[in-house]
Structure 1
Amino acid sequence: MARVPRNFRLLEELEKGEKGIGDGSCSYGLEDGDDIMMSHWNGTIIGPGHTVHENRIYSLKIVCGELYPDAPPLVQFISRVNLPFVNQTEGTVDPAKLPVLAHWTRNSSIETILVEIRREMGSFNNRKLPQPPEGTVF
């Protein structure tokens, strides 16, 4: 089977991101529409209901390097959040602590990451973690 080149894959993701993901609880798009390498992305996650994250909007930066989709992108929260896989100094997501990044496959995507982070926010261990004041950033 032929391997889809990086830019074709990112074009597919951009088109899907512009249409919105599922129920609208996660979204993503290019940081700059003129980024011809499609490296720098913004992501948004609306916190899951019945958790400390409910009604909060979290912003993230995602950088797809030259090896994407063979290698996972770098993911960093802009909005402050207290989760076990997020560095509390700079907001970076530790790939070793988030399963979707630790077990990255070529079939994974930006959407997969955002949906998985949101799912982790609602997990039993994370749903009641004390959070920084809403609106604070890294």
Structure 2
Amino acid sequence: MTLGSGGSSVVVPRNFRLLEELERGEKGIGDGTVSYGMDDGDDIYMRSWTGTIIGPHNTVHEGRIYQLKLFCDKDYPEKPPSVRFHSRINMTCVNHETGVVEPKKFGILANWQREYTMEDILTQLKKEMAAPQNRKLVQPPEGTYF
């Protein structure tokens, strides 16, 4: 996020940006089917996050609750966080062995922009679950993990 008028702009420091994201994640997002927060409130670098997605209606994911891990390295938000499903899921952009969301196969990570947020990633993953190539894929048993 940049602020300013005219030719000048101010880049919001990493920790301020992450504090904004934390506040938004704690308030709840939209219809409540996507949420996120920090793994460890004592982590002053705010690196490790947990996300939750409730599968979209009219898909094989409906009613399932998916847990994810997001890791914001020191170069976030200039570079995207790493994203990994903890819950087993069968999707075209997710590595079947590790649960890692593969950046080259997931548009928002492949074309990352500083303005994007963890909320954007989770919302796009939910949309991807409902995409034609993913909405009917056979899924692992519910409650299994990587």
Note whether the superposition's TM-score is higher than 0.5: yes
Q: 1:21 & 1:36 partners in 2: Cα distance?
A: 24
Shift of residue 119, structure 1, vs aligned partner: 0.1
Q: Which amino acid aligns with 2:34?
A: C
Which of 72, 79, 89 is equivalent to 1:64? 72
Calculate the TM-score normalised by the size of structure 2: 0.94
Calculate the TM-score normalised by the size of structure 1: 0.99
Q: Structure 1, residues 9-55: CA drift from partner, whole Å, max 9, x if none? A: 00000000000110001000000111110000000000001100001
1:14 aligns with 2:22: yes
RMSD: 0.5
Q: Percent identity?
A: 59
Q: 2:23 & 2:13 partners in 1: Cα distance?
A: 16
Shift of residue 6, structure 1, vs aligned partner: 0.4
Runs of 4+ more than 3 Å apart: none
| Count of residues in correspondence between the two structures | 138
Shift of residue 125, structure 1, vs aligned partner: 1.5
Q: 1:52 & 1:59 partners in 2: Cα distance?
A: 16
| Secondary structure of 1:16 counterpart | helix
Match in the other structure for 1:125: 133
1:96 aligns with 2:104: yes
Q: 1:74 & 1:60 partners in 2: Cα distance?
A: 10
Match in the other structure for 1:77: 85
Does structure 1 retain, via aligned residues, the 8 Å contact 2:92–2:133?
A: no
